[in-house]
């Protein structure tokens, strides 16, 4: 999927300029990488152990590992099991949250409300349910005292979840607002890497869980020498399929043909139009804490369960002439160019997930300052859409076969599928084969909506992205202005008597009216195609 295709990090060639066809066929901001050498670039602030490695191949009815890992690689006690509810989960990037209003989100099947507590200067994550009559607090407001107010009956809550005011309670009666049942469930929350995270348990014993456990940390996101625009989108297929798709570099030249270009090794003849080729992917030690991977000595990646897939290139060095030395010779200074892809996959509910992405880099910083953020999202959404329907249908076939039977249902004979197989292996071995919804759902997927609704961008992205929302409103205003200008121009020509205006001036105004009308029609098409629905036909690419 995504330009997102992290594992193929170094095999992607991405445009850095917006040409005249940009708005007809938006492209994700890509960067062309030259030869890369392996280095000891750290993985998300952790010490990288020396792993034994194994690759993955399969037979016709099962997936096995070549030279199966020994007991040192895959050892666990009988009770070692991944607990889905003892993890930090991302809610939303801070840049897409409005401090003036509460925000409704669903994560792990839990309805939560995210709001800014200006009294504590912190983002809070509550159960999205008023204890009074269970109305959604996300439909409420932040009152004049900075409290979260339920708009059904006006109950108010502070940042600790305590009810501070019940309008219907007599002032001289019992202080019912202090009763425990009047409180809202509060989830432990924190902001890390400019993302709001929460711990999915309101039990008071987890109030200070941040002191013992922290979300995975990506140092580049907080590094001021890097640029790191973020994006988010709700996806109409589940966490498992989203995660494995991001780990699959082999699909990029095919599923995203015409959108992303795959760099071909020198002196290699393309086997087909798209340029697919064998990929040497190697999975390193796999355990309950995830796994690492190496791709052809050029890029590396790491899976931090349950949500983070992180890929990066080893350093590239630009040679630049330096100042002259005392001997009259010129020194060459080395500039390390680093680029990484960070994908955060959020389980929402069966058949639904949320993707948060960012691509930190320490070069070309000026581009993000010149090009509006929403323009990057236009291209990134096109990439997401180009294989969205494929994956939506694929998920249903996997469910029909049974998630635990994935390795029997899918024939994965090449090393290009090593990361996908590694993820499914981790999922089956440690995490029960699928997300644990704790009985909240029947297990059935939601019905498939019409294609236009399935691939809708407005509700899945635009309303949840501050930059795209502002651009959408601004472009709609511009469309109306152009239509008004067109009508006004014709009105002026019609109102002015014959002979009161020269023929040249009359012609100029008429042409202006036509131009404004044509521009408004083109803009309406652009808005619909980039902010609502853009179909993608693979057969006609």
411-449 pLDDT per residue, tens:
999 999 999 999 999 999 999 999 999 999 987 899 999
The number of beta carbons lying within 10 Å of the beta carbon of residue 280 is 14
Give the long-range contacts of residues 523-526, CB within 8 A, separation 24 or more: 523/475, 523/478, 523/479, 523/482, 524/479, 526/23, 526/475
Terminal Cα distance for the chain, rounded: 16
> In the prediction, which pLDDT does 443 show?
79
What is the chain's length? 541
Please say whether the beta carbons of 422 and 283 come within 8 A. Answer: yes
pLDDT at residue 18 is higher than 70 = no
Residue 126 main-chain phi, psi, to 5 deg: -115, 165
Distance CA 248, CA 416 (A): 7
24-74 pLDDT per residue, tens:
333 333 333 333 333 333 344 443 433 333 333 333 333 344 433 333 334
Please say whether the beta carbons of 52 and 285 come within 8 A. Answer: yes
Distance CA 445, CA 385 (A): 20
Average pLDDT, the chain: 83
Burial class (CB in 10 A: 0-12, 13-18, 19+), 40: exposed
Domain 89-211 has CATH 1.20.1250.20: no
pLDDT at residue 16 is higher than 70 = no
- Cα 280 to its chain centre, rounded Å, is 26
Residue 304 main-chain phi, psi, to 5 deg: -105, 100
- Cα 197 to its chain centre, rounded Å, is 14
Please say whether the beta carbons of 190 and 210 come within 8 A. Answer: yes
207-240 pLDDT per residue, tens:
999 999 999 999 999 999 999 899 999 999 999 9
**Whole-prediction pTM:** 0.83
Nearest Cα residue to 62 out of 424, 350, 311, 381? 424
pLDDT at residue 370 is higher than 70 = yes
Distance CA 456, CA 451 (A): 8
> In the prediction, which pLDDT does 7 show?
40
Distance CA 516, CA 388 (A): 36
> In the prediction, which pLDDT does 264 show?
63
> In the prediction, which pLDDT does 79 show?
58
Distance CA 247, CA 102 (A): 34
343-373 burial by CB neighbour count: b if 16+ within 10 A, else e?
A: bbbbbbbbbbbbbbbbbbbbbeeebeeeeeb
257-273 pLDDT per residue, tens:
888 766 666 666 777 88
Burial class (CB in 10 A: 0-12, 13-18, 19+), 83: exposed
pLDDT at residue 2 is higher than 50 = no
Can you say whether the dihedral through the CA atoms of 218, 221, 227, 230 is positive or negative? positive
Residue 328 confidence class, pLDDT cut points 50, 70, 90: very low
- Domain spanning 219-262+276-315+336-450 has what CATH number? 3.90.380.10
Please say whether the beta carbons of 431 and 84 come within 8 A. Answer: yes
Q: Which residue is associated with the tokens 């899945």?
A: 460
């Amino acid at each position: 999927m995504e330009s997102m295709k992290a594992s193929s990090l170094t095999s992607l060639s991405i445009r850095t300029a917006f040409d005249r066809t940009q708005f007809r066929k938006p492209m994700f901001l890509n960067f062309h990488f030259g030869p890369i050498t392996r280095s000891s670039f750290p993985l998300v602030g952790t010490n990288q152990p020396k792993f034994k490695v194994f690759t993955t191949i399969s037979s016709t009815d099962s997936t096995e590992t070549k030279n199966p890992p020994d007991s040192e690689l895959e050892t666990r006690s009988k009770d070692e099991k991944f607990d889905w509810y003892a993890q930090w989960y991302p809610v939303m990037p801070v840049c897409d949250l409005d401090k003036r209003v509460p925000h409704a989100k669903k994560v792990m099947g839990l309805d939560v409300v995210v709001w800014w507590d200006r009294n504590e200067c912190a983002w809070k994550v509550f159960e999205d349910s008023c204890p009074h009559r269970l109305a959604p607090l996300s439909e409420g407001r932040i009152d004049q005292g900075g409290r979260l107010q339920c708009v059904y009956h006006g109950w108010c809550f502070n940042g600790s979840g305590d009810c501070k005011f019940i309008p219907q309670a007599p002032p001289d009666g019992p202080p019912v607002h202090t009763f425990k049942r009047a409180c809202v469930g509060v989830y432990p929350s924190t902001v890390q890497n400019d993302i709001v995270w929460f711990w999915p348990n309101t039990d008071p014993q987890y109030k200070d869980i941040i002191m013992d456990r922290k979300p995975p940390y990506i140092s580049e996101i907080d590094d001021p020498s890097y640029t790191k625009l973020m994006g988010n989108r709700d996806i109409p297929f589940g966490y498992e399929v989203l995660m494995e798709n991001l780990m699959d570099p082999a699909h990029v030249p095919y599923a995203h043909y015409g959108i992303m270009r795959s760099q071909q090794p020198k002196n290699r003849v393309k086997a087909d139009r798209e340029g697919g080729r064998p990929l040497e992917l190697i999975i390193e030690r796999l355990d309950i804490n995830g796994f690492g991977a190496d791709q052809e000595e050029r890029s590396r990646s790491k899976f931090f369960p349950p949500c983070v897939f992180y890929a990066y290139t080893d350093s590239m060095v630009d040679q630049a002439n330096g100042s002259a030395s005392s001997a009259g010779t010129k020194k060459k200074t080395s500039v390390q160019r680093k680029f990484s892809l960070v994908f955060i996959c959020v389980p929402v509910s069966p058949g639904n997930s949320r993707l948060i992405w960012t691509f930190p880099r320490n070069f070309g910083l000026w581009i993000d300052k010149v090009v509006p953020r929403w323009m990057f999202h236009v291209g990134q959404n096109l990439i997401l859409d180009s294989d969205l329907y494929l994956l939506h249908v694929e998920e249903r076939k996997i469910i029909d076969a049974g998630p635990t039977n994935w390795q029997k249902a899918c024939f994965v004979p090449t090393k290009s599928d090593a990361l996908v197989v590694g993820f499914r292996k981790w999922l089956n071995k440690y995490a029960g084969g699928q997300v644990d919804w704790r009985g909240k759902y029947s297990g059935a997927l939601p019905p498939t909506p019409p294609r236009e609704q399935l691939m809708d961008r407005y509700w899945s992205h635009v309303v949840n992205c501050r930059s795209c929302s502002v651009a959408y409103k601004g472009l709609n205003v511009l469309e109306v202005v152009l239509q008004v200008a067109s009508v006004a121009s014709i009105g002026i020509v019609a109102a002015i008597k014959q002979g009161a205006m020269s023929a040249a001036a009359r012609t100029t105004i008429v042409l202006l009216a036509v131009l404004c009308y044509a521009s408004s029609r083109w803009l309406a098409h652009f808005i619909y195609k980039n902010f609502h629905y853009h179909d993608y036909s693979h057969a006609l690419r």
